Copies of this chain bind each other. A is one copy, B any other.
């Protein structure tokens, strides 16, 4: 039988999967002799058991919990419910991956009508004891019993009013006794029984509540956003309470060993005197900077600095610590590798190499590929900032620039974001319930809270710009208005938020590309040295090509030629082609497109300086080049331009209408019915390559990619058109150049017949967007309507269009890789779906043995870093 409960002294940092991050680190700190209030951890496996046992805790686990409790009481020298020395504990979640604020916490557990009196006597502070008790009742009722806060809030307000108390702190011990009495009455009314006086019962219910909270909607959403599997479960940490709110020699705080925003090597944190941890995190009182503790509590400060250094050296990473000072004595409540901005992550990683704490490869692993997105996001244009006047300034909590319309609730922000709008979410302060709205916001702005408030922590994790604690803002949620120094802003009004400076501006400021710093360049050199996968970019224009190459792309993995046809100057010829009655008319129209397309290819080949480019032939259904049937004025205009009748255009639109265009007349099916399109495109590619070869020294070898192939014969047929056209061109030009013909693998049938297809294809490029559509039978355009139900019912944990579904679609890819190599041992393999820039997909592509990934220019550095992670992790696993 597995062991389900570990005392802190029984664990260590390597037991993260079993004890969760918090539990493993509390054990590790205990082992290295730091002052940690003792306790025990109920494992993640107990959580999994809890769910598989139908949401109950098995008797044998209960027994283990009580045994650990007894041992912990012994260490603390206190007992649950004791008349003289009552034992109080906190109960906190702690999963393998950090999920800050997503799950539940219960403090002061163990208080009851007896213990509260003992506490009062022991601390000589009756007011403190009853304040703790009433907080516990409320927290237990809310978190464990789900009674809701409203009635408790009203009762507190009633007592305050009856006693003319303005602040909570104005209430006397007797007032608080009355609050406790009323709270217990509320509990009884709601639950039909007395507030539980048995601390063991309190404990068991609380552990269950934490287990339950693993599955609350915001935790599910957070996991989906962060690719955390739903079957990991959470551990529960039961720890002796220490009190930061017992008087003026008490306090509590959080600190980072380095600046989490910039990476600067300097202790960075905040604390509050006479307060509990929740006061700091909630941002209700504005805390002091950690350095000021040097003057207030010099001895404690010195001890804390030493501990911080020790922890950083021990973990070889920047630490995020929570501590409490109880009557002048320092207790460490938590340490973990600190969350940080992308910029800080890069600086810290590089610094740790320079400080000889990490190897270069270890440093590469310290920066999450996904995070780089922030680094690569644009900031505000410096010149625009010079002339702009800030309407307010708050704390610069998360760097980056956000400009958009104001929205006052997370729901409104999410709705506007889904509609494609740029959104600034403005809130008094944010709560974990706001997470989806924050995800959709370009920037987050709050009136209250510090650098470690919820808004700040979450925004940094998400890579969203955030300005917090901006006290000059007056937010009226009911009216949905924001007033700043008398000027009123309404929903949708444009503002700009600079997360790097804390400034807020009226209107939309222009942004510029970020220049990546020297540290970033060094890190990427290390990453490039480590990775095996090549990284290409998806680019359809010379401009994108330049951008991709600047970001380190080693070629173009996907040039979508149709994008070249949508430009106003070209779409006319395209429409003439579509409206043609026969192949000759089509050829004439295509001849007019040829020079444009050839010129684009020439410019792209020059920008690539000899790097390879995969050109995909025309893919979308032809109706996309015509207006909708209902757009009558546009149809009339086009008819005039093309010298035809609106009726003819409408007739063609009807002809091209399809029930399921995604599975209709597109991809290579166009080349099968209209070979002249493939002829023209072959001409454009090869003539461009021949010209660039003549003009430059670049050894251009075109890669021609036939899309949407489902069978070998289909590819053979289209390839034969390409080969015939190539022969004609080479004869015309008196020159022969090498080129490749390959295909996109994006049809399930192609995956299972990849051995045959590889006989014709010199390369495969996995088009995982379409492959995901067909493999799931999910239309990307329509799935939004039901995917939310899939997430909420935990049928899907992440969007398969964003993160490759390794278990299903991945299996098809693996099969195609294996069969493809059977059919052609030296076949070149890549991926060019939007998944190409997703780090977890890159890892899969590395594992499955692809040669390259291709993604948007902007995600190239992310893919490079992810490829390095995959290679380094594989090496580590092999050496382990």
B-contacting residues of A (Cβ < 8 Å)?
A: 658-665, 669, 672-673, 708, 710-711, 713-714, 717, 746-749, 752-753, 756, 770, 773-779, 781-783, 785-786, 789-790, 793-796, 805, 807-809, 811-812, 815
Given A672-B793, A672-B795, A808-B753, A663 and B714 touching (CB < 8 A)?
no
Inter-subunit contact B777/A710 (CB<8 Å): yes
Residues of B within 8 A of A748 (CB): 748, 774-775, 777, 812
CA of A663 to CA of B658, assembled, Å: 14
What copy number does this chain have within its complex?
Answer: 2
Inter-subunit contact B665/A785 (CB<8 Å): yes
- Name the one of B662, B710, B717, B808 contacting A660, with C-beta atoms under 8 angstroms: B662
Instruction: Please give me the residue from chain B that is nearest to A708 by CB atom.
Output: B777
Residues of B within 8 A of A708 (CB): 777
Inter-subunit contact A785/B659 (CB<8 Å): no
* Smallest CB separation, A871 vs chain B (Å): 27
Residues of B within 8 A of A809 (CB): 749
11 pairs from A and B in contact (CB 8 Å cutoff):
A658-B781, A659-B779, A665-B785, A665-B786, A672-B786, A710-B775, A711-B808, A747-B777, A752-B808, A774-B774, A774-B777
The 10 closest A-B pairs by CB, nearest first: A660-B779, A663-B779, A659-B781, A749-B808, A748-B748, A664-B782, A658-B782, A752-B811, A660-B660, A660-B662
Residues of B within 8 A of A713 (CB): 794-796
- Name the one of B714, B775, B782 contacting A661, with C-beta atoms under 8 angstroms: B782
CA of A775 to CA of B746, assembled, Å: 10
* Smallest CB separation, A720 vs chain B (Å): 10
Inter-subunit contact A782/B665 (CB<8 Å): yes
CA of A793 to CA of B671, assembled, Å: 12
Residues of B within 8 A of A673 (CB): 786, 789
Residues of B within 8 A of A669 (CB): 786, 789
Inter-subunit contact B782/A659 (CB<8 Å): yes
- Name the one of B664, B753, B807, B812 contacting A779, with C-beta atoms under 8 angstroms: B664
CA of A659 to CA of B775, assembled, Å: 18
CA of A752 to CA of B751, assembled, Å: 11
Inter-subunit contact B711/A795 (CB<8 Å): yes
- Name the one of B747, B782, B808, B815 contacting A776, with C-beta atoms under 8 angstroms: B747
Residues of B within 8 A of A672 (CB): 786, 789-790, 793, 795
* Smallest CB separation, A596 vs chain B (Å): 27
CA of A774 to CA of B160, assembled, Å: 66
Residues of B within 8 A of A770 (CB): 777
Instruction: Please give me the residue from chain B that is nearest to A713 by CB atom.
Output: B795
CA of A673 to CA of B795, assembled, Å: 12
Inter-subunit contact B663/A773 (CB<8 Å): yes
* Smallest CB separation, A84 vs chain B (Å): 51
Inter-subunit contact A662/B663 (CB<8 Å): yes
Residues of B within 8 A of A779 (CB): 658-664
* Smallest CB separation, A557 vs chain B (Å): 21
* Smallest CB separation, A126 vs chain B (Å): 51
Additional A-B contact list (13), CB under 8 Å, known A660-B661, A663-B774: A658-B785, A660-B663, A660-B782, A663-B776, A663-B778, A663-B779, A663-B782, A664-B782, A665-B785, A672-B786, A672-B795, A711-B796, A752-B815
Residues of B within 8 A of A775 (CB): 710, 747-749, 752, 774
Residues of B within 8 A of A752 (CB): 775, 808, 811-812, 815
* Smallest CB separation, A17 vs chain B (Å): 23
Residues of B within 8 A of A796 (CB): 711, 713
Inter-subunit contact A664/B811 (CB<8 Å): no
Inter-subunit contact A776/B793 (CB<8 Å): no
Residues of B within 8 A of A777 (CB): 662-663, 708, 710, 746-749, 770, 774
* Smallest CB separation, A548 vs chain B (Å): 29
Inter-subunit contact A795/B658 (CB<8 Å): no
Residues of B within 8 A of A805 (CB): 749
Instruction: Please give me the residue from chain B that is nearest to A808 by CB atom.
Output: B749
Residue in A669, A756, A777, A794 with the greatest tally of chain B CB atoms within 10 Å: A777
* Smallest CB separation, A801 vs chain B (Å): 12
Residues of B within 8 A of A746 (CB): 777
Instruction: Please give me the residue from chain B that is nearest to A657 by CB atom.
Output: B782
CA of A794 to CA of B781, assembled, Å: 33
Instruction: Please give me the residue from chain B that is nearest to A778 by CB atom.
Output: B663
CA of A717 to CA of B795, assembled, Å: 7
* Smallest CB separation, A741 vs chain B (Å): 16
Residues of B within 8 A of A795 (CB): 672, 711, 713-714, 717
CA of A445 to CA of B714, assembled, Å: 39
Residues of B within 8 A of A717 (CB): 793, 795
Residues of B within 8 A of A658 (CB): 779, 781-782, 785
Inter-subunit contact B711/A781 (CB<8 Å): no
CA of A790 to CA of B794, assembled, Å: 42
Residues of B within 8 A of A773 (CB): 663
CA of A790 to CA of B672, assembled, Å: 7
Residue in A778, A790, A808 with the greatest tally of chain B CB atoms within 10 Å: A808
Instruction: Please give me the residue from chain B that is nearest to A662 by CB atom.
Output: B660
CA of A663 to CA of B748, assembled, Å: 14
CA of A810 to CA of B344, assembled, Å: 54
CA of A786 to CA of B665, assembled, Å: 7
Instruction: Please give me the residue from chain B that is nearest to A790 by CB atom.
Output: B672
Instruction: Please give me the residue from chain B that is nearest to A814 by CB atom.
Output: B752
* Smallest CB separation, A711 vs chain B (Å): 7
Residues of B within 8 A of A785 (CB): 658, 664-665
CA of A302 to CA of B149, assembled, Å: 109
- Name the one of B660, B710, B790, B811 contacting A753, with C-beta atoms under 8 angstroms: B811
